[in-house]
């Protein structure tokens, strides 16, 4: 039997922009996308540590090395610039995989890989 498990996670990222006018998605620095094993258009869950809001959206690639974490479209009503968020992707597996956890610093630069959550 396959189950849905946490595949990867970016921990404690700081939202650098929130754009209500843009069609929905989350813009993530290409460096972080690669480190976390994410793909463009992949479904992700976003948990706002600042206010407790949660949402689902999809990834779009941001400028490499920019540190961008951008909340776009209607989600910008739930998450604001400066909020701290966790970004999680899930995948189906027959066994319990070890998730890839990426920790970032206050400027959304890769800091280290963390252990299991």
Which CATH number belongs to the domain containing residue 53 in this structure?
2.40.40.20
Q: For position 117, what pLDDT does the model report?
A: 47
Q: For position 115, what pLDDT does the model report?
A: 67
Beta strands 100-104 and 3-14, pairing class:
parallel
Domain residue limits at 84: 3-114
Q: Quick one: which H or E segment has residue 64?
A: none
Count up the domains in the chain and report the number. Answer: 1
Catalytic sites, residue numbers: 25, 58
Query: Between 94 and 96, whose confidence is greater?
Result: 94
Residue 59: strand, helix, or coil: strand
Percentage of the chain surpassing pLDDT 70? 97
Beta strands 17-19 and 69-72, pairing class:
parallel
Does the pLDDT of residue 116 top 80, yes or no?
A: no
Whole-Å CA distances, 4 to 30, 57, 73: 25, 17, 27
Q: What is the DSSP letter of 49?
A: T
The predicted-structure confidence for 28-75, as pLDDT tens digits, reads as follows 999 999 999 999 999 999 999 999 999 999 999 999 999 999 999 999
**pTM of the predicted model, to two decimals?**
0.94
* Residue among 58, 72, 70 nearest 29 (CA): 70
């Amino acid at each position: 039997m396959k189950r849905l498990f946490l595949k990867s996670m970016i921990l404690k990222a700081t939202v650098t922009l929130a754009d209500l006018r843009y069609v929905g998605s989350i813009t993530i620095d290409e460096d972080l996308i690669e480190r976390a094993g994410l793909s463009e258009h992949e479904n992700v869950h976003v948990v706002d540590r600042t206010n407790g809001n949660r949402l689902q959206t999809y990834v779009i690639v941001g400028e490499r090395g920019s540190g961008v974490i951008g909340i776009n479209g209607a989600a910008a009503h739930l998450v604001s610039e400066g909020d701290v968020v966790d970004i999680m992707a899930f995948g189906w597996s027959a066994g319990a995989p070890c998730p890839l956890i990426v920790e970032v610093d206050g400027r959304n630069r890769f800091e280290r890989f963390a252990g299991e959550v």
